[in-house]
Structure 1
Amino acid sequence: MDQNKFEILKNELYEEVQIGIDSSTEFEKRFLQLIAMCNLSLMTGDENFFGLFFIQIKRKINFKLSTALETKLSGAYFTAYFNPTIFLECTLREMQALIKHEIYHIMSKHYIRAKKLKNKYSELAINLAMDVSINQYLMYLPPWSAQLENVKLAYNIELEEDKTMEQYAQKIQKGIDKKIKKQEEFEKDFLKLHEIWNDMDDDITLGQIDEIIKKTANNAYKEKVPESIDVLMKALNRTSEIAWKDYLKNIIGTLPSGHKKTVTRKDRRQPNRLDIRGKLSNRIVKILIAIDISGSMTDREIEQSMIEIFSIVKNYPFDISIIECDEEIRRIYKVKNIKDIKEKINTKGGTKFSPVFQYIYDKRLRDYVVIFFTDGVGEKELIVKSYNYKTIWVLTGINEELSLENPMGIIFRLNSSVEKKERANGYDLIRDAMKDIRSEWAK
């Protein structure tokens, strides 16, 4: 890239912005030419990944943006939005750092992770946490960027290096809640960070976002790349731990089934006998949902879990019953749709799992799948052995393990903790790798 041509064009555009020029086709064309030159400067050496990644991102101008640059997912691709008024105040190195900053937001799945924290922390805490988790590793950022030091001073809190955005959000929120005097001047610069994300499509799934990120990153993953990018790529490509609902989907096709006679199929043993009817599978999905009503599962979680179950079995004839129990069975009823679900009975009793399996044995419910929602605290050993086809244990509380020594089934968690989710997605791996490559991202 010709540095002189870049500086001349940048200065011309900056002067036009200063005199109050409105966005025009000609101005936008020249501004995007400047961005292309900046992108070209990232196409060499260790910067190659960032240049190849950003070249796949569409670019637009937005003078109403509260910061220099933000990206968002638009359909099947990413779009970068620039506010020329702010962006043109930056040096070439600062522009490069801002582009890297956005790419690390994407690679770290910050949009999804921020969404999961919205009901837990304020928007300000989340915005600051996302940025300090990235910016501590980037050099040459503009002076107005959120950094560990200025956030620590603003809220009189201690923030350690090399932590995840979730850990920073928790500490920053505590600082916001405890502050004595208003920090209006500091906060107004960061409260509207990532506001463009609010316009993103809420219907797009985590899986779809993963695929778009992977596709964009893989296209840029050529030859030598920074170690930090290599770590993020491994995290992106790591297979997620299967959830209880996915396991249920997988076993639906293996459920025992009876048969019914049909004239549309020949008898397999005597195919030449046209007078003998053949057989078709008469599969009925039979599920028994046991809910430990002494545990920590809320009515809302019960409803959400039932919605998942109904969506899985919707293409099959099904027979679903709910058993509520603590140290004994309190209620049993059938459900055909979400409206049939009743508020759980509140009891103060302990927890025993055996009554459910005794009921299954007594009623000879061999071909049923049992989904047992419990906080995990109960007996160490079942009085009666499991008689049914499959058992899925879903832990709803903070306990990591089921008390049963031989549970006779497979164990999942209803909702993993933030820390476990981070590990499953490789965020701890990223954090550990960064300890040894603090300034490597912006060499």
Structure 2
Amino acid sequence: MPSLTQDLKRLATGPAAQQDANAHQAYRDAVMYLLQTDPFYGRVLSQMTVEIAPGHSPLALRPTATDWRLRLAPAALGRQDWTGTQWVAMLRHTVLHLLWQHPQRYAEALKTPAQAGLVRWATDAAVNDYLTDLPTTAITSRRLQQLIGQPVQRQQDSAVYLRQLRDWRAKHPASARSLPTGGPANRGDQVARRSAEAGNDPSDLDGHATWRAADATAAATREQWRRQLFQRTADSLTAKQRGTLPGAMRAALTPTVAEQPLDWRRLLKRGLGQVPAGRQPAFGRFNRRQPARMELPGQIVTTWQKISVFVDESGSMGNREISYLLGQLATLLAVYPAQVTVYPFDTVVDPQRRFSLQRRPQHLMRTGGGGTRFQAVFDALPRLLQGAAGQLVIILTDGYGERQLQPTLPVPVIWLLTSPVAAFSVKNAPGTVVSLTTDPQWQAIRGQKS
């Protein structure tokens, strides 16, 4: 690919006054090449707005109130010793971050220094396993395995890698160090150390720091733009072109969307007051089988008596928004008495911080942070519910976590998402999935500043 390589050399050696124009030219030529050889990536990039701005990273995704912009930093791009194939690979890399919703999923986690580096490495490994011809310092699952000295499976979701990195760091604090961008490095990894000293750390190849600006206020608008971008791209591809994409990419391009949105309050009322949860004796009712025997009790249908609410502390929900949702649930208790227990969770469920919801609005102060692991909720259910009848589980979350779940109990589950249903990371989630994005009161609260 001599022309693209020459574009990069021209950018690196040309006068400073021409850097912006040369960066534009390098980008246009790369997109034209992808349109001819790999239409999926080429068509996504051709629809995105490109910004030229200074920065430490050659590439970055920057959020706005309506979309995600691709930012190019000419000086930083010129400093990279990339070939044309590596330049194209990094553009593909950036598209996959957007396809798998990494910028929005991890915007909050990147604001925590202890999590930021792990997020960078986990998301890069999840993306790079699907690419070839990457820069030599790029992070893959194989590279993670070398760094942490533990088996790492290929082509897993970023949440899987993040959980493994966090577990490794917790178990080996003496071996874990921080590179300038916060990623883990083994003391024997000379390549990572040299790249860090040279200012060419793998996590800096496409800056993730801009993701932190993805506040929750405009998340729904950006997600709608993102879905439309990839939907238009998918519609423009032929069946043969779609067939050449890896299965994980095809799945992300064809999300399952509810045909008719559900009213979450009606759903909760149904769960609290109308769904039968077995029968119980009642001496105020005749026994239908033996009505002449007054000493025999009849039966009445019982409804849900115990509700477990799991609140995702790692996502985009703030204290005010969680308090609103719990307050709405509390108002229903006046009509449908039930025992409601609230459990905060992120990658684990902490029973020590549970509390009972009363018939008045309550405030939950979030203390968690980092990633989300829905499986932790299902793993905790056998211990928390102990097989009792009349149980209902409600999960309040932004919907960004792992892709696959393993149910542990046959208990009804209601997912209340603060993002669109199409943005829900779990495929074939057990239970009923409802989005709050159509709730006017919810949107009004999200629009207020905390």
TM range (shorter): 0.5 to 0.7
Shift of 1:183: 5.9
Describe the superposition over 1:260-304 as per-residue Cα deviations: whole angstroms up to 9, x where unpaired: xxxxxxxxxxxxxxxxxxxxxxxxxxxx99656xx7868999996
Q: Which amino acid aligns with 1:80?
A: L
Kept in 1, the 8 Å contact 2:304–2:392? The answer is no
Flag structure 2 segments of 5+ consecutive residues without an equivalent: 180-192, 274-302, 342-355, 366-382, 397-405, 418-423, 430-450
Shift of 1:116: 7.1
1:248 aligns with 2:239: no
Q: Which amino acid aligns with 1:151?
A: L
Matches within 5 A, 1:194-205: 194-205=208-219
Quickly say closer, same or farther: Cα 1:90–1:218, change in 2 above 3 A. Answer: same
Aligned mates of 1:332, 1:102 — CA distance in 2: 43
Q: For residue 76 of structure 1, what is the aligned residue in structure 2?
A: 66
Aligned mates of 2:89, 2:359 — CA distance in 1: 59
Q: For residue 289 of structure 2, what is the aligned residue in structure 1?
A: none
Quickly say closer, same or farther: Cα 1:297–1:76, change in 2 above 3 A. Answer: closer
Matches within 5 A, 1:57-72: 57-65=48-56, 67-72=57-62
Q: For residue 401 of structure 1, what is the aligned residue in structure 2?
A: 409
Secondary structure of 1:393's aligned partner: strand
Shift of 1:182: 3.9
Aligned mates of 2:427, 2:312 — CA distance in 1: 29
Match of 2:166 among 162, 166, 173: 173
Quickly say closer, same or farther: Cα 1:393–1:296, change in 2 above 3 A. Answer: closer
Kept in 2, the 8 Å contact 1:214–1:237? The answer is no
Aligned mates of 2:215, 2:114 — CA distance in 1: 22
1:215 aligns with 2:207: no
Aligned mates of 1:233, 1:41 — CA distance in 2: 22
Kindly tell me the number of residue pairs found equivalent between the two proteins.
321
Aligned mates of 1:144, 1:175 — CA distance in 2: 21
Shift of 1:82: 1.8
Q: Which has the larger radius of gyration?
A: 1
Secondary structure of 2:142's aligned partner: helix
Which deviates the most, 29-38 or 296-305? Answer: 296-305
Q: For residue 245 of structure 2, what is the aligned residue in structure 1?
A: 228
Quickly say closer, same or farther: Cα 1:149–1:424, change in 2 above 3 A. Answer: same
Shift of 1:160: 2.0
Quickly say closer, same or farther: Cα 1:399–1:423, change in 2 above 3 A. Answer: closer
Q: Which amino acid aligns with 1:196?
A: T
1:151 aligns with 2:144: yes
Match of 1:133 among 126, 146, 156: 126
Aligned mates of 2:113, 2:392 — CA distance in 1: 27
Kept in 1, the 8 Å contact 2:67–2:221? The answer is no
Aligned mates of 1:41, 1:82 — CA distance in 2: 18
Aligned mates of 2:364, 2:28 — CA distance in 1: 59
Kept in 2, the 8 Å contact 1:396–1:414? The answer is yes
Matches within 5 A, 1:402-441: 411-412=413-414, 421-424=425-428
Quickly say closer, same or farther: Cα 1:144–1:231, change in 2 above 3 A. Answer: closer
Secondary structure of 2:392's aligned partner: strand
Describe the superposition over 1:69-112 as per-residue Cα deviations: whole angstroms up to 9, x where unpaired: 12233232321112323423321111111111111111111123
Shift of 1:42: 0.6
Kept in 2, the 8 Å contact 1:49–1:220? The answer is yes
Q: For residue 50 of structure 1, what is the aligned residue in structure 2?
A: 41
Q: For residue 379 of structure 2, what is the aligned residue in structure 1?
A: none
1:102 aligns with 2:90: no
Aligned mates of 1:115, 1:183 — CA distance in 2: 20
Q: Which amino acid aligns with 1:423?
A: K
What is the identity percentage for the equivalent residue pairs of Structure 1 and Structure 2?
12
1:124 aligns with 2:122: no
Aligned mates of 1:173, 1:318 — CA distance in 2: 39
Aligned mates of 1:396, 1:217 — CA distance in 2: 28
Secondary structure of 1:72's aligned partner: strand
Secondary structure of 2:245's aligned partner: helix
Q: For residue 377 of structure 1, what is the aligned residue in structure 2?
A: 386
TM-score after normalising by structure 2: 0.57
Kept in 2, the 8 Å contact 1:241–1:424? The answer is no
Match of 1:15 among 5, 13, 16: 13
Quickly say closer, same or farther: Cα 1:332–1:12, change in 2 above 3 A. Answer: closer
Aligned mates of 1:194, 1:402 — CA distance in 2: 40
Aligned mates of 1:318, 1:153 — CA distance in 2: 53
1:161 aligns with 2:154: yes
Q: Which amino acid aligns with 1:225?
A: Q
Shift of 1:194: 0.6
Q: Which amino acid aligns with 1:16?
A: G
Kept in 2, the 8 Å contact 1:121–1:169? The answer is no
Q: Which amino acid aligns with 2:77?
A: F
Kept in 2, the 8 Å contact 1:245–1:308? The answer is no
Quickly say closer, same or farther: Cα 1:291–1:142, change in 2 above 3 A. Answer: same
Shift of 1:43: 0.8
Q: Which amino acid aligns with 1:61?
A: I
Q: For residue 280 of structure 1, what is the aligned residue in structure 2?
A: none
Secondary structure of 2:94's aligned partner: helix
Quickly say closer, same or farther: Cα 1:289–1:307, change in 2 above 3 A. Answer: farther
Aligned mates of 2:51, 2:249 — CA distance in 1: 27
Quickly say closer, same or farther: Cα 1:399–1:117, change in 2 above 3 A. Answer: farther
Kept in 1, the 8 Å contact 2:2–2:84? The answer is no
Quickly say closer, same or farther: Cα 1:190–1:33, change in 2 above 3 A. Answer: closer
Flag structure 1 segments of 5+ consecutive residues without an equivalent: 257-287, 344-373, 383-391, 404-409, 426-443
Kept in 2, the 8 Å contact 1:376–1:395? The answer is no
Q: Which amino acid aligns with 1:180?
A: S
Shift of 1:245: 8.4
Q: Which amino acid aligns with 2:414?
A: F
TM-score after normalising by structure 1: 0.58
Aligned mates of 1:78, 1:297 — CA distance in 2: 31
Secondary structure of 2:60's aligned partner: strand
